[in-house]
């Protein structure tokens, strides 16, 4: 990364590489992640790898889906295993990661019951953060070639609330905001993003978010984190933000009832409006199926140009170019904690923050010349 220029923009090195070279880099980064995970627990041995065993494991994880959808995903998964998407050693590594995650969840519960664990009160596991960090750095630097402005608006220490638009169907936006701050901010702060309660219902995600330092979205949780002088991230659009159709991209959904403003007012934390551009083209969602949403228990079920038609391959995000802009902080300490009960003030600050982020998005879109370049 180069240092900040006069415009406070942190550019990411541009590399003109082919799709095949990018695929090879992605496979290499995945192999590196597997190696780091093995270093965390060198004595762990997963069950012997076989394509049939992996298909069976995926099938068990998809039992809650509709039979026709489950069959389609399994057929595509079997097809991917037979194609040269990754070499066989990388697929063995994926098998290792999946089984290790299940094994960890069992061990995590056991350690919790016996008191043998080394995490903070929220479940943060620094070993996992450091193991995952190079892979997220690759996605941030090379895959999405993220450009960042306004990092000077993130305080070096003390409480602050990062308020961002939500986009991209999967929570990659929160991961990239966290990577930008952790990798490029002088203080390398860890952001504690508040995630929606339905994310842990996704396969293999149940404990991963907690171990990475993320916390269930709740006003009380946010207040406690801010009182501990943490840097907290919120996405007030909720699942309405990640569930938008392609035609509605970058049009902010309603910001809920202002819970994030109440957190800021109760703790006097400044709110930092943040705009993410580039994530809403990762998946071109053209329809949301209410029937499949009810069958799966998800708040929405996206139908994109690639998913579920391409199965697991359709889950791989497109390598769009991302921009993350951190705006000027909105102070709240002057109002006092009792202002959190002033519904008119809460509504005003909610709308003010939403309007600022929408304008930041519009400004970035006006400057952008290409989705990918």
pLDDT digits (tens, 9 = 90+) for 267-281: 999 999 999 999 988
Whether the per-residue pLDDT at 103 is higher than 90: the answer is no
Mean pLDDT of 211-226: 92
pLDDT, mean over the chain: 78
Which two tokens mark 175?
């991961």
pLDDT band at 112 (very low <50, low <70, confident <90, very high): very low
pLDDT on residue 7: 47
pLDDT on residue 233: 97
Whether the per-residue pLDDT at 360 is higher than 90: the answer is yes
pLDDT on residue 352: 97
Find out whether 172 and 317 touch, Cβ atoms under 8 Å.
Answer: yes
pLDDT on residue 184: 95
Whether the per-residue pLDDT at 343 is higher than 90: the answer is yes
Pairing of strands 147-149, 9-10: antiparallel
Whether the per-residue pLDDT at 6 is higher than 50: the answer is no
Helix (H/G/I), strand (E/B), else coil: 258: coil
Q: How far apart are CA 75 and CA 127, in angstroms?
A: 36
pLDDT on residue 230: 97
Whether the per-residue pLDDT at 2 is higher than 50: the answer is no
Whether the per-residue pLDDT at 243 is higher than 80: the answer is no
Mean pLDDT of 106-124: 62
Q: How far apart are CA 163 and CA 336, in angstroms?
A: 20
Which two tokens mark 205?
């995600």
Least confident piece of the model among 3-12, 160-169, 217-226: 3-12
Neighbouring residues of 61: CB distance < 8 A, sequence distance ≥ 6: 203, 204
Mean pLDDT of 286-298: 67
pLDDT on residue 362: 97
State the SS3 of 287-347: EECHHHHHHHCCCCCEEECCCCCCHHHHHCCCCCCCEEEECCCECCHHHCHHHHHCHHHHH
pLDDT band at 28 (very low <50, low <70, confident <90, very high): confident
Q: How far apart are CA 191 and CA 208, in angstroms?
A: 15
Question: What CATH number labels 118-282+317-373?
Answer: 3.40.1130.10
Whether the per-residue pLDDT at 5 is higher than 50: the answer is no
pLDDT tens-digit profile of 361-372? 999 999 998 888
Kindly report, as residue ranges, where domains of CATH 3.40.1130.10 are found in the chain. 118-282+317-373
In the DSSP assignment, the letter for residue 276 is E
């Amino acid at each position: 990364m180069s240092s900040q220029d006069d415009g406070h923009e942190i550019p990411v090195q541009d590399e003109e590489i082919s799709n095949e070279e990018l695929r090879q880099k992605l496979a290499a980064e995945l192999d590196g992640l597997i190696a780091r995970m093995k270093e965390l627990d060198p004595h762990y041995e997963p069950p012997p790898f076989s394509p049939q065993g992996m298909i069976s494991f995926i099938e068990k994880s998809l039992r809650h889906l509709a039979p026709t959808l489950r069959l389609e995903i399994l057929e595509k998964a079997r097809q991917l295993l037979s194609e040269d998407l990754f070499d066989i050693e990388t697929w063995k590594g994926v098998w290792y990661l999946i089984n290790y995650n299940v094994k960890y969840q069992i061990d995590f519960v056991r350690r919790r019951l016996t008191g043998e664990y080394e995490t903070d009160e929220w479940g943060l596991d620094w070993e996992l953060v450091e193991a995952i960090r190079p892979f997220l750095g690759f996605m941030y630097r090379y895959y999405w070639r993220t450009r960042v402005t306004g990092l000077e608006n993130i305080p070096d220490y003390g409480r602050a609330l990062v308020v961002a638009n939500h986009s991209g169907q999967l929570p990659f936006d929160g991961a990239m905001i966290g990577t930008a701050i952790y990798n490029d901010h002088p203080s390398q702060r860890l952001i504690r993003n508040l995630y929606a309660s339905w994310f842990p219902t996704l396969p293999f995600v149940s404990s991963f978010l907690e171990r990475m330092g993320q916390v269930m979205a709740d006003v009380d949780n946010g207040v406690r984190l801010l009182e501990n002088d943490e840097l907290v991230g919120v996405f007030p659009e909720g699942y309405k933000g990640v569930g938008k159709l392609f035609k509605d991209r970058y049009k902010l959904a309603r910001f809920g009832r202002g819970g994030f403003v109440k957190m800021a007012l109760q703790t006097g934390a400044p709110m930092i409006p943040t705009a993410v551009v580039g994530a809403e083209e990762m998946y071109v969602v053209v329809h949301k199926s209410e029937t499949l949403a009810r069958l799966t228990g998800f708040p929405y079920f996206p139908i994109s140009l690639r998913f579920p038609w391409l199965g697991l391959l359709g889950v791989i995000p497109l390598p769009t170019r991302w921009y993350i802009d951190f705006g000027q902080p909105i102070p709240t300490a002057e109002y006092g904690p009792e202002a959190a009960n002033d519904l008119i003030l809460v509504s005003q600050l909610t709308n003010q923050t939403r309007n600022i982020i929408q304008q930041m998005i519009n400004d970035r879109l006006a400057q952008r010349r290409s989705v990918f370049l």
